Amino acid sequence: MSYAGDLAPAQAWETLTQGAVLLDVRTAGEWAHIGVPDLSSLGAEPVFIPWNLADGTNNAAFVTELAAAVPAETPLVVLCRSGARSIAAAQAATAAGYTAFNVLEGFEGGTDRFGERTLNGWKNRQLPWK
């Protein structure tokens, strides 16, 4: 594993209470139409940097944007829809000098037998979102 490790959503929340920054690497469309984590009770806001652009290509400026937004000594909790893109982003952040954790299950989680994302993830584990 070339990043700090995987966290269940509840563990991710606990890590955020200790000063880590939530890095949401989903697309702008996902943020706008599905929702975003609500960290207001922690006095914080997520950092939004897409791993992939809307056309599906990799965001070549990801590390540059991350460096401009978050100091390298700040631990990161990296979140995507289901926990796949966030692994790649956590690996890139780690290579750039960050301590980066992946959120297992992501924001929406896995699909049920009907193809709906109702099983797990940040939202379905009842963590704050808006």
Per-residue pLDDT at 1: 63
Whether pTM > 0.85 for this model: the answer is: yes
3-state secondary structure of 22: strand
CATH class in words for 5-110: alpha beta
Per-residue pLDDT at 111: 79
Per-residue pLDDT at 82: 86
Q: How far is CA 104 from CA 26, 41, 71, 93, 129, in A?
A: 14, 22, 24, 17, 17
The full set of domain ranges for the chain reads 5-110
| Regions of the chain with pLDDT less than 50 | none
Per-residue pLDDT at 92: 98
Residue 89 tokens read as: 């982003």
Per-residue pLDDT at 119: 79
Cα angle vertex 42, ends 40, 43, to 5°? 65
Dump the DSSP string for 96-129: TT--EEEETTTTT----TTS-S-SSHHHHTT--B
The 10s digit of each residue's pLDDT in 72-97 is 999 999 999 988 899 999 999 999 99
How crowded is residue 67: how many other Cβ atoms within 10 Å of its Cβ? 14
Identity of the amino acid at 35? G
